[in-house]
Amino acid sequence: MQAKVRGLAIVCIVILLLIAYFPTKATTQGIDVSARSAILMDETSGRVIYEVNAHEKRRIASITKIMTAILAIESGELDEIVTVSGNAAGTEGSSLYLKEGEKIKLEDLVYGLMLRSGNDAAVAIAEKVGGSFDGFVWMMNQKAEEIGMKNTNFSNPHGLDTTENHYSTAYDMALLTRYAMQNETYAKISGTKEHRAPNSTEGWDYVWKNKNRLLTQLYEYTTGGKTGYTKLAKRTLVTTATKKGHDLIAVTINAPDDWNDHIHMYESAFKAYKPTTVLQEGVLSNLNVKFYNKHVYIKNEFTYPLTKKEQEQVEVKIKLLKPKKEWDERERIPEIVGKAHIYLNGEKIGTRTIFYGQSQETFKQESFGASWLNWFQSVLGMKRYG
Protein backbone atom coordinates (compact mmCIF):
# COMPACT_ATOMS: atom_id res chain seq x y z
CA MET A 1 0.00 0.00 0.00
CA GLN A 2 2.78 2.41 0.94
CA ALA A 3 4.57 1.58 -2.31
CA LYS A 4 1.46 2.51 -4.30
CA VAL A 5 1.16 5.83 -2.43
CA ARG A 6 4.83 6.59 -3.06
CA GLY A 7 4.41 5.73 -6.74
CA LEU A 8 1.37 8.00 -7.04
CA ALA A 9 3.27 10.82 -5.32
CA ILE A 10 6.18 10.44 -7.74
CA VAL A 11 3.81 10.59 -10.73
CA CYS A 12 2.19 13.78 -9.37
CA ILE A 13 5.59 15.39 -8.83
CA VAL A 14 6.67 14.54 -12.39
CA ILE A 15 3.46 16.04 -13.81
CA LEU A 16 3.94 19.23 -11.80
CA LEU A 17 7.54 19.53 -13.00
CA LEU A 18 6.47 19.08 -16.61
CA ILE A 19 3.80 21.78 -16.24
CA ALA A 20 6.34 24.16 -14.76
CA TYR A 21 8.96 23.44 -17.41
CA PHE A 22 6.84 23.64 -20.55
CA PRO A 23 4.85 26.81 -21.31
CA THR A 24 1.13 26.09 -21.27
CA LYS A 25 -1.72 27.97 -22.86
CA ALA A 26 -3.33 30.42 -20.48
CA THR A 27 -7.08 30.96 -20.61
CA THR A 28 -8.96 34.05 -19.54
CA GLN A 29 -12.64 34.72 -20.11
CA GLY A 30 -12.80 32.32 -23.01
CA ILE A 31 -9.58 33.45 -24.72
CA ASP A 32 -6.59 31.14 -25.21
CA VAL A 33 -3.17 32.75 -25.49
CA SER A 34 0.27 31.21 -25.83
CA ALA A 35 1.80 33.91 -23.61
CA ARG A 36 3.02 33.26 -20.09
CA SER A 37 1.89 36.81 -19.27
CA ALA A 38 -0.69 38.86 -21.17
CA ILE A 39 -3.05 41.77 -20.81
CA LEU A 40 -5.63 43.64 -22.86
CA MET A 41 -6.36 47.16 -21.62
CA ASP A 42 -8.81 49.81 -22.76
CA GLU A 43 -6.66 52.79 -23.63
CA THR A 44 -9.20 55.49 -22.73
CA SER A 45 -10.35 54.27 -19.32
CA GLY A 46 -7.51 51.94 -18.34
CA ARG A 47 -9.97 49.09 -17.77
CA VAL A 48 -8.32 45.66 -17.87
CA ILE A 49 -10.48 43.52 -20.14
CA TYR A 50 -8.36 40.33 -20.14
CA GLU A 51 -5.28 39.31 -18.19
CA VAL A 52 -3.05 36.31 -17.56
CA ASN A 53 -0.28 36.57 -14.96
CA ALA A 54 -0.29 40.29 -15.71
CA HIS A 55 1.59 41.28 -12.55
CA GLU A 56 4.38 38.68 -12.73
CA LYS A 57 7.86 40.19 -13.09
CA ARG A 58 9.53 39.01 -16.29
CA ARG A 59 12.33 39.96 -18.67
CA ILE A 60 10.84 42.14 -21.37
CA ALA A 61 13.48 42.42 -24.13
CA SER A 62 13.05 45.28 -26.64
CA ILE A 63 9.63 46.50 -25.54
CA THR A 64 11.90 48.34 -23.08
CA LYS A 65 12.42 50.79 -25.94
CA ILE A 66 8.94 52.25 -25.48
CA MET A 67 10.32 53.96 -22.37
CA THR A 68 13.48 55.01 -24.22
CA ALA A 69 11.40 56.51 -27.02
CA ILE A 70 9.00 58.50 -24.85
CA LEU A 71 11.85 59.97 -22.79
CA ALA A 72 13.63 61.04 -25.97
CA ILE A 73 10.45 62.63 -27.29
CA GLU A 74 9.72 64.42 -24.02
CA SER A 75 13.27 65.79 -23.89
CA GLY A 76 12.32 68.40 -26.49
CA GLU A 77 15.59 67.70 -28.32
CA LEU A 78 14.33 65.74 -31.33
CA ASP A 79 15.78 68.30 -33.78
CA GLU A 80 19.24 68.15 -32.24
CA ILE A 81 22.12 66.27 -33.87
CA VAL A 82 23.65 63.33 -32.01
CA THR A 83 27.25 62.25 -32.51
CA VAL A 84 27.34 58.47 -32.19
CA SER A 85 29.89 57.25 -29.63
CA GLY A 86 32.03 54.15 -29.95
CA ASN A 87 30.11 52.68 -27.03
CA ALA A 88 26.81 53.10 -28.88
CA ALA A 89 28.15 51.85 -32.23
CA GLY A 90 29.52 48.72 -30.60
CA THR A 91 26.26 47.63 -28.94
CA GLU A 92 25.42 43.99 -29.62
CA GLY A 93 22.18 42.57 -31.00
CA SER A 94 19.72 44.17 -33.41
CA SER A 95 21.31 47.24 -34.94
CA LEU A 96 21.00 50.22 -37.27
CA TYR A 97 24.71 49.71 -37.99
CA LEU A 98 25.60 53.20 -36.86
CA LYS A 99 29.28 54.18 -37.06
CA GLU A 100 31.38 55.87 -34.41
CA GLY A 101 31.48 59.62 -35.06
CA GLU A 102 28.41 59.50 -37.31
CA LYS A 103 26.04 62.45 -36.91
CA ILE A 104 22.30 61.83 -36.93
CA LYS A 105 19.21 63.69 -35.76
CA LEU A 106 17.72 62.46 -32.46
CA GLU A 107 14.31 62.13 -34.10
CA ASP A 108 15.73 59.73 -36.69
CA LEU A 109 17.33 57.69 -33.90
CA VAL A 110 13.89 57.31 -32.29
CA TYR A 111 12.44 56.09 -35.58
CA GLY A 112 15.27 53.57 -35.93
CA LEU A 113 14.77 52.54 -32.31
CA MET A 114 11.05 51.84 -32.71
CA LEU A 115 10.90 50.51 -36.28
CA ARG A 116 14.12 48.44 -36.45
CA SER A 117 14.77 47.99 -32.71
CA GLY A 118 18.30 49.38 -32.99
CA ASN A 119 20.22 48.70 -29.78
CA ASP A 120 22.92 51.08 -30.98
CA ALA A 121 20.24 53.77 -31.35
CA ALA A 122 19.07 53.07 -27.79
CA VAL A 123 22.53 53.73 -26.34
CA ALA A 124 23.05 56.82 -28.51
CA ILE A 125 19.71 58.18 -27.30
CA ALA A 126 20.56 57.38 -23.68
CA GLU A 127 23.90 59.18 -23.84
CA LYS A 128 22.34 62.23 -25.49
CA VAL A 129 19.18 62.59 -23.39
CA GLY A 130 20.52 61.35 -20.06
CA GLY A 131 23.99 62.81 -20.33
CA SER A 132 25.32 59.29 -19.78
CA PHE A 133 24.13 55.70 -19.97
CA ASP A 134 23.59 55.53 -16.19
CA GLY A 135 21.96 58.93 -16.09
CA PHE A 136 19.38 57.81 -18.62
CA VAL A 137 18.66 54.60 -16.73
CA TRP A 138 17.95 56.74 -13.67
CA MET A 139 15.50 58.78 -15.78
CA MET A 140 13.78 55.59 -16.94
CA ASN A 141 13.15 54.44 -13.39
CA GLN A 142 11.98 57.89 -12.31
CA LYS A 143 9.45 57.95 -15.14
CA ALA A 144 8.33 54.40 -14.31
CA GLU A 145 7.63 55.50 -10.74
CA GLU A 146 5.75 58.56 -11.98
CA ILE A 147 3.51 56.45 -14.24
CA GLY A 148 2.79 53.91 -11.49
CA MET A 149 4.84 50.99 -12.81
CA LYS A 150 5.24 49.37 -9.40
CA ASN A 151 6.80 46.08 -10.52
CA THR A 152 9.36 47.43 -12.97
CA ASN A 153 13.08 48.10 -12.86
CA PHE A 154 15.20 49.25 -15.79
CA SER A 155 18.96 48.73 -15.98
CA ASN A 156 19.48 49.57 -19.68
CA PRO A 157 17.71 51.41 -22.52
CA HIS A 158 17.42 48.47 -24.93
CA GLY A 159 16.29 45.34 -23.05
CA LEU A 160 19.29 43.10 -23.66
CA ASP A 161 19.83 40.33 -21.10
CA THR A 162 22.90 42.05 -19.66
CA THR A 163 21.66 42.04 -16.06
CA GLU A 164 19.08 40.22 -13.95
CA ASN A 165 17.80 43.51 -12.57
CA HIS A 166 15.90 44.51 -15.71
CA TYR A 167 12.25 43.46 -15.63
CA SER A 168 8.64 44.54 -15.84
CA THR A 169 5.13 43.09 -16.06
CA ALA A 170 2.45 42.96 -18.74
CA TYR A 171 0.33 45.33 -16.67
CA ASP A 172 3.13 47.86 -16.17
CA MET A 173 3.99 47.83 -19.87
CA ALA A 174 0.32 48.50 -20.68
CA LEU A 175 0.42 51.47 -18.29
CA LEU A 176 3.54 52.76 -20.03
CA THR A 177 1.97 52.37 -23.46
CA ARG A 178 -1.21 54.09 -22.34
CA TYR A 179 0.89 57.00 -21.12
CA ALA A 180 3.03 57.12 -24.26
CA MET A 181 0.05 57.03 -26.63
CA GLN A 182 -1.16 60.33 -25.19
CA ASN A 183 1.85 61.90 -26.92
CA GLU A 184 1.06 62.61 -30.58
CA THR A 185 4.68 62.31 -31.67
CA TYR A 186 5.08 58.91 -30.01
CA ALA A 187 1.79 57.68 -31.51
CA LYS A 188 2.94 58.80 -34.97
CA ILE A 189 6.37 57.14 -34.73
CA SER A 190 4.94 53.96 -33.21
CA GLY A 191 2.48 53.66 -36.09
CA THR A 192 4.95 54.43 -38.91
CA LYS A 193 5.48 51.57 -41.35
CA GLU A 194 8.60 52.96 -43.07
CA HIS A 195 11.00 55.81 -42.39
CA ARG A 196 13.84 57.30 -44.45
CA ALA A 197 16.74 59.09 -42.74
CA PRO A 198 19.89 60.71 -44.16
CA ASN A 199 23.18 58.89 -43.65
CA SER A 200 26.01 61.34 -42.91
CA THR A 201 28.77 58.84 -43.72
CA GLU A 202 27.48 57.31 -46.97
CA GLY A 203 25.93 58.44 -50.23
CA TRP A 204 22.63 56.72 -49.55
CA ASP A 205 19.79 57.14 -47.04
CA TYR A 206 18.75 54.74 -44.32
CA VAL A 207 15.37 53.14 -45.04
CA TRP A 208 13.81 51.39 -42.04
CA LYS A 209 10.73 49.19 -42.29
CA ASN A 210 8.76 48.41 -39.16
CA LYS A 211 9.23 44.92 -37.69
CA ASN A 212 5.68 44.95 -36.27
CA ARG A 213 3.93 42.58 -38.67
CA LEU A 214 0.54 43.24 -37.09
CA LEU A 215 0.91 46.84 -38.25
CA THR A 216 2.40 46.15 -41.67
CA GLN A 217 0.63 42.94 -42.74
CA LEU A 218 -1.53 40.96 -40.36
CA TYR A 219 -4.17 43.13 -38.67
CA GLU A 220 -5.70 46.18 -40.31
CA TYR A 221 -6.80 47.81 -37.05
CA THR A 222 -3.27 47.97 -35.58
CA THR A 223 -2.09 51.52 -34.89
CA GLY A 224 1.38 50.90 -33.43
CA GLY A 225 3.51 48.98 -30.96
CA LYS A 226 6.92 47.44 -30.35
CA THR A 227 8.37 43.98 -30.85
CA GLY A 228 10.99 42.26 -28.73
CA TYR A 229 13.05 39.09 -28.39
CA THR A 230 15.99 37.78 -26.41
CA LYS A 231 17.00 34.22 -25.60
CA LEU A 232 15.94 34.61 -21.98
CA ALA A 233 12.87 36.80 -22.38
CA LYS A 234 11.59 34.97 -25.49
CA ARG A 235 9.09 36.80 -27.71
CA THR A 236 7.59 39.97 -26.26
CA LEU A 237 5.11 42.25 -27.99
CA VAL A 238 3.17 45.43 -27.31
CA THR A 239 0.59 46.66 -29.81
CA THR A 240 -2.24 49.15 -30.02
CA ALA A 241 -5.38 48.85 -32.13
CA THR A 242 -8.45 50.94 -32.89
CA LYS A 243 -11.78 49.86 -34.34
CA LYS A 244 -14.89 52.05 -34.52
CA GLY A 245 -13.43 54.49 -32.03
CA HIS A 246 -12.47 51.80 -29.51
CA ASP A 247 -8.77 52.05 -28.59
CA LEU A 248 -7.07 49.00 -27.05
CA ILE A 249 -3.60 48.04 -25.82
CA ALA A 250 -2.30 44.45 -25.88
CA VAL A 251 0.86 43.14 -24.20
CA THR A 252 2.28 39.61 -24.31
CA ILE A 253 5.48 38.35 -22.68
CA ASN A 254 7.08 34.99 -23.51
CA ALA A 255 4.52 34.23 -26.21
CA PRO A 256 5.43 31.75 -28.96
CA ASP A 257 2.35 32.75 -30.99
CA ASP A 258 2.18 36.44 -30.14
CA TRP A 259 0.74 37.72 -33.44
CA ASN A 260 -2.31 35.50 -33.09
CA ASP A 261 -2.54 36.13 -29.34
CA HIS A 262 -3.01 39.83 -30.03
CA ILE A 263 -5.49 39.32 -32.86
CA HIS A 264 -7.60 36.94 -30.74
CA MET A 265 -7.67 39.34 -27.80
CA TYR A 266 -8.55 42.30 -29.98
CA GLU A 267 -11.28 40.57 -31.96
CA SER A 268 -12.90 39.18 -28.83
CA ALA A 269 -12.96 42.59 -27.14
CA PHE A 270 -14.14 44.49 -30.20
CA LYS A 271 -17.02 42.04 -30.50
CA ALA A 272 -18.05 41.96 -26.84
CA TYR A 273 -17.31 45.49 -25.58
CA LYS A 274 -18.50 48.90 -26.71
CA PRO A 275 -17.24 52.28 -25.45
CA THR A 276 -20.31 53.59 -23.65
CA THR A 277 -20.80 57.20 -22.59
CA VAL A 278 -22.25 56.92 -19.10
CA LEU A 279 -22.01 60.65 -18.35
CA GLN A 280 -21.78 63.34 -20.99
CA GLU A 281 -20.14 66.67 -20.39
CA GLY A 282 -22.55 69.53 -19.84
CA VAL A 283 -25.51 70.66 -17.75
CA LEU A 284 -27.18 68.25 -15.33
CA SER A 285 -30.94 68.44 -15.50
CA ASN A 286 -33.73 66.27 -14.11
CA LEU A 287 -32.16 66.40 -10.65
CA ASN A 288 -34.53 66.09 -7.72
CA VAL A 289 -32.89 69.05 -5.97
CA LYS A 290 -34.46 72.22 -7.35
CA PHE A 291 -31.62 74.46 -6.15
CA TYR A 292 -29.13 72.63 -8.40
CA ASN A 293 -31.33 71.58 -11.29
CA LYS A 294 -29.90 73.00 -14.55
CA HIS A 295 -27.37 75.04 -12.54
CA VAL A 296 -24.62 72.43 -12.26
CA TYR A 297 -22.49 70.76 -14.89
CA ILE A 298 -19.77 68.19 -15.59
CA LYS A 299 -16.67 69.26 -17.53
CA ASN A 300 -15.50 65.89 -18.85
CA GLU A 301 -17.61 63.00 -20.05
CA PHE A 302 -17.14 59.52 -18.62
CA THR A 303 -16.86 56.73 -21.16
CA TYR A 304 -16.23 53.09 -20.28
CA PRO A 305 -16.07 49.84 -22.30
CA LEU A 306 -19.13 47.74 -21.44
CA THR A 307 -20.82 44.58 -22.65
CA LYS A 308 -24.55 44.70 -23.32
CA LYS A 309 -25.20 42.97 -20.01
CA GLU A 310 -22.96 45.39 -18.12
CA GLN A 311 -24.81 48.38 -19.55
CA GLU A 312 -27.76 47.29 -17.41
CA GLN A 313 -25.57 47.07 -14.30
CA VAL A 314 -24.27 50.65 -14.31
CA GLU A 315 -25.40 52.98 -11.53
CA VAL A 316 -24.54 56.65 -11.09
CA LYS A 317 -24.91 58.21 -7.65
CA ILE A 318 -24.75 61.97 -7.34
CA LYS A 319 -23.69 63.50 -4.03
CA LEU A 320 -24.25 67.24 -3.57
CA LEU A 321 -23.44 69.70 -0.84
CA LYS A 322 -26.45 70.74 1.19
CA PRO A 323 -27.44 74.28 0.13
CA LYS A 324 -26.84 76.96 2.77
CA LYS A 325 -28.90 80.06 3.52
CA GLU A 326 -26.05 82.39 2.65
CA TRP A 327 -26.02 80.88 -0.84
CA ASP A 328 -28.90 83.20 -1.73
CA GLU A 329 -26.04 85.38 -2.89
CA ARG A 330 -24.80 83.41 -5.88
CA GLU A 331 -21.18 84.54 -5.54
CA ARG A 332 -20.93 82.65 -2.23
CA ILE A 333 -21.70 79.30 -3.81
CA PRO A 334 -18.49 77.23 -4.13
CA GLU A 335 -17.29 76.23 -7.59
CA ILE A 336 -17.31 72.53 -6.72
CA VAL A 337 -20.60 71.37 -5.22
CA GLY A 338 -20.49 67.60 -5.56
CA LYS A 339 -19.35 64.39 -7.16
CA ALA A 340 -20.87 61.85 -9.52
CA HIS A 341 -19.80 58.33 -8.55
CA ILE A 342 -20.11 55.63 -11.23
CA TYR A 343 -20.53 51.96 -10.27
CA LEU A 344 -20.53 48.75 -12.28
CA ASN A 345 -22.21 45.86 -10.53
CA GLY A 346 -21.57 47.57 -7.18
CA GLU A 347 -17.87 48.34 -7.82
CA LYS A 348 -16.80 51.94 -8.33
CA ILE A 349 -15.27 52.50 -11.77
CA GLY A 350 -14.99 56.27 -11.84
CA THR A 351 -15.96 59.71 -10.57
CA ARG A 352 -16.66 63.11 -12.05
CA THR A 353 -16.61 66.47 -10.27
CA ILE A 354 -19.82 68.53 -10.35
CA PHE A 355 -19.37 72.29 -10.83
CA TYR A 356 -21.86 75.07 -10.10
CA GLY A 357 -22.53 77.75 -12.71
CA GLN A 358 -22.90 78.03 -16.43
CA SER A 359 -21.19 75.40 -18.54
CA GLN A 360 -19.28 76.39 -21.66
CA GLU A 361 -21.10 76.66 -24.99
CA THR A 362 -19.22 73.61 -26.23
CA PHE A 363 -20.90 71.46 -23.60
CA LYS A 364 -23.94 69.43 -24.56
CA GLN A 365 -27.20 70.59 -23.02
CA GLU A 366 -28.24 67.23 -21.60
CA SER A 367 -25.88 65.05 -19.62
CA PHE A 368 -27.66 61.72 -19.97
CA GLY A 369 -30.45 60.04 -21.90
CA ALA A 370 -33.82 59.14 -20.43
CA SER A 371 -32.76 55.51 -20.06
CA TRP A 372 -30.18 56.55 -17.43
CA LEU A 373 -32.49 58.51 -15.15
CA ASN A 374 -33.39 55.65 -12.86
CA TRP A 375 -29.70 55.21 -11.96
CA PHE A 376 -29.29 58.67 -10.44
CA GLN A 377 -29.55 59.42 -6.75
CA SER A 378 -29.08 62.83 -5.13
CA VAL A 379 -27.67 62.61 -1.63
CA LEU A 380 -27.62 65.84 0.39
CA GLY A 381 -25.38 66.78 3.31
CA MET A 382 -22.05 65.60 1.88
CA LYS A 383 -19.35 66.99 4.19
CA ARG A 384 -16.49 66.60 1.74
CA TYR A 385 -16.16 66.73 -2.02
CA GLY A 386 -15.55 62.98 -2.10
Burial group, residue 285, by CB count within 10 angstroms (0-12, 13-18, 19+): middle
**Beta pairing partners, 206:** 197
- Which of the following is catalytic: 34, 37, 85, 117? 117
Residue 354's CB: how many other CB atoms inside 10 A? 24
Q: Counting every residue, how long is the chain?
A: 386
What are the E-state strand segments in 254-299?
274-279, 282-284, 296-298
Q: What Cα–Cα distance (Å) separates residue 191 from each residue in 220, 222, 240, 265?
A: 12, 8, 9, 19
117 in catalytic set: yes
65 in catalytic set: yes
Contacts of 139 (CB under 8 A, 6+ apart): 71, 129, 130
105 is in an annotated binding site: no
C-alpha 229 chain-centroid distance:
20
The residue type at 98: L
- Which of the following is catalytic: 34, 37, 62, 168? 62
Contact (Cβ atoms closer than 8 angstroms) between residue 208 and residue 198: no
What per-residue string of b and e applies to 165-201 under the rule 16 or more CB within 10 Å gives b? ebbbbbbbbbbbbbbbbeeebbeebbbbeebebebee
For residue 134, the SS3 value is helix
User: How many alpha carbons lie under 13 Å from residue 6 in its C-beta half-sphere?
Assistant: 3
Find, among 297, 121, 296, the residue nearest to 206 by Cα.
121
Largest CA distance in the chain: 89
SS (H, E, C) 169-190: CHHHHHHHHHHHCCCHHHHHHH
Residue list, annotated binding site for substrate: 226
Residue list, annotated binding site: 226
Active-site positions read 62, 65, 117
